[in-house]
Amino acid sequence: MPLSRTRLVFILFFFSFLAIIARLGWWQIAQSEALLSQAKAQRWEEKIIPAKRGEIFFTDAYPLASSKPFYNLYAFKPEIKISYQELVEQLIKISPLEKKEIQEMLESDLLWVPIWKHLGEKNREEVLSLQIDGLELEEETGREYPEASQAAHLLGFLGKNEKGENQGYFGLEGYYDRQLRGSDGKVVQEKDALGRPIVLGGYYKSTVKNGINLRLFLDRQLQWIAEKCIAKGTKRYGAKKGLVIISNPQNGGILAMAVYPNFDPSDYSKTESELFFNPAISGTFEPGSIFKILIMAAALDSGAVTPQDICPTCSGPVKIGEYTIKTWNDQYYPKSTMTEIIQHSDNVGMVYVGRQLGLEKTLVYLERFGIGQKTGIDLQGETTGKFKEKKYWSSIDLATISFGQGIAVTPIQMVQIVNVIANQGKLIPPRVVQGIQETKQIIKPETAKQITEMMVNAVEQGEAKWTKIPGASIAGKTGTAQIPIQGHYDPEKTIASFVGFAPALKPQFTMLVILYEPTTSPWASETAAPLWFDIAKDIFLLKSINPK
């Protein structure tokens, strides 16, 4: 009997140990991963340190776009200790949301309900002051635009990609997205039962790499003037849209780029997507008479003509095959010099210049000036017009290109062309972010001087002389281009432009003004030119430039 009792005790202990071993085995083998991660979550706190998106500054170090934290409000249903009705009543006191809207969100199947997005600092404080359990604020980095919608097309906007992460679209935000973004850091720290950090506990950190800041050539004063004037000008001349580009010819820096109508980058979701395209770099147009300066510069540089040469075919319309080319106002100036051809913006005269230059050299100079190639400006979305292969060119093509029709360029390409003339024949690609650009001499300095004199004469004596600034030394050229539609030109609509630089002998800025489809007058001399001079007046005043 005593023996069997001992055996019983032994068996009891044996099974007890077996049960304990089995239980330990269950925890340590079967449940090991789940328990380990639970223990880790209790003991370790992991915090992602979001990288600060790089800021974008005007040339005077004032931010065009800066980083700002925003908050999203969520309700975690299991932790809400008051009734939904009471919660809704509290929330409508501080938020712009409708009562019904919040109620519907709370009644959804979700446990973690997003209630209010994009809260500012003031809203955050109001939410915290409610002291309601179950309301959580999630921080995210967004953009703030101290100068509101200024330079919106140049800037682009910060949106979300398919993963819900911040991503820059269009303009600078798109082009420099990778550099602006940076990379997030992480801190892993041991914590106690109350969630406080253990000073002597484990601590691991991977360094956050903030995005780089961009300093632009963009001048805040000039941008302000450009925005204000293009908005006013587009309305005044009844145009569909308008744009201004101001550049520094010495370094190719973009000093201002304004488009009207523009959009608010902080509220881009309410904007029609068509408006995101920047016509300054993404839109091509037939430049019309402003292109004459390129053809004339090429003809002068190659020695095909001199400024004093007389046009022998300028006494009337010129016939090329089945086409007849006339001047814009059907007035003819026999024995015009090359300077007068630019002054009168004479299409017939330009046909003569084009013929003197010849197809071969025309194509060489078009390539030198960068026509048919992107300028490489540091903005997302640049496009370019293309021109035909040499074998497809006919004599009518050579004729029309000499006065800027039958060829498509972007406004930024036109600015690059005029910068060459203002910069003594040196080509510098346009650039928005400060940096050093390589220069290339593409026409002789003497040629640049000759074409400058022609442009000064065009301002002084040309059809836009009524609007010039008295006493100011300005080199410029008007351009009224027809708009091609389905194989022919629209008989009524035009694109009016004026391009030039000042002061002519020591240029401080180059400026291009374009008005698309103005309705008060189709002519650039009555629309784009006066607007150009209005902006120039303000620039002279604000930048203390003596225009003489």
- Which residue, 204 or 323, is less far from other proteins as judged by CB? 204
3-state secondary structure 419-488: HHHHCCCEECCCECECCCCCCEECCCHHHHHHHHHHHHHHHHHCCCHHHCCCCCCCEEEEEEEEEEECCE
Q: How far is CA 470 from CA 77, 112, 466, 474, in A?
A: 73, 69, 10, 10
What's the rounded Cα separation, in Å, for the pair 268 and 257? 19
- Which residue, 146 or 312, is less far from other proteins as judged by CB? 146
Minimum gap (Å) between residue 221 Cβ and other proteins = 8
Contact 498, 528 (CB under 8 A): yes
What's the rounded Cα separation, in Å, for the pair 431 and 375? 9
The phi-psi region of residue 88 (left if phi > 0; otherwise alpha if psi is between -120 and 50; otherwise beta) is alpha
Separation of CA 18 from chain center: 73
- Which residue, 95 or 141, is less far from other proteins as judged by CB? 141
Q: How far is CA 34 from CA 27, 30, 38, 40, in A?
A: 9, 9, 6, 10
Helix (H) or strand (E) holding 296: helix 292-301
3-state secondary structure of 216: strand
Binding site for other proteins (CB under 8 A): 62-63, 66, 68-69, 121, 144, 146-148, 191-192, 194, 196-200, 220-221, 224, 538, 540-541, 546-548
- Which residue, 112 or 203, is less far from other proteins as judged by CB? 203
Contact 334, 352 (CB under 8 A): no
Q: Which of 125, 130, 138 is nearest to 71 (CA)?
A: 138
Minimum gap (Å) between residue 540 Cβ and other proteins = 7
DSSP 510-528: EEEEEEES-SS-S-GGGTH
Q: Give the other-Cβ count within 10 Å of 259's Cβ.
A: 28
Minimum gap (Å) between residue 546 Cβ and other proteins = 5
- Which residue, 13 or 62, is less far from other proteins as judged by CB? 62
CA-based R_g, the chain, Å: 34
What's the rounded Cα separation, in Å, for the pair 443 and 427? 9
- Which residue, 266 or 375, is less far from other proteins as judged by CB? 266
- Which residue, 223 or 494, is less far from other proteins as judged by CB? 223
Minimum gap (Å) between residue 401 Cβ and other proteins = 41
Q: Give the other-Cβ count within 10 Å of 470's Cβ.
A: 5
Minimum gap (Å) between residue 390 Cβ and other proteins = 50
Minimum gap (Å) between residue 129 Cβ and other proteins = 15
- Which residue, 9 or 541, is less far from other proteins as judged by CB? 541
3-state secondary structure of 260: strand
Minimum gap (Å) between residue 195 Cβ and other proteins = 8
**277: burial class by Cβ within 10 Å (0-12, 13-18, 19+)?**
middle
What's the rounded Cα separation, in Å, for the pair 252 and 431? 6
- Which residue, 145 or 501, is less far from other proteins as judged by CB? 145
- Which residue, 197 or 334, is less far from other proteins as judged by CB? 197
Minimum gap (Å) between residue 121 Cβ and other proteins = 6
Minimum gap (Å) between residue 42 Cβ and other proteins = 15
Minimum gap (Å) between residue 204 Cβ and other proteins = 16
Minimum gap (Å) between residue 474 Cβ and other proteins = 14
- Which residue, 96 or 470, is less far from other proteins as judged by CB? 470
- Which residue, 196 or 270, is less far from other proteins as judged by CB? 196
Contact 437, 377 (CB under 8 A): no
Q: How far is CA 201 from CA 36, 45, 383, in A?
A: 18, 11, 57
Minimum gap (Å) between residue 223 Cβ and other proteins = 9
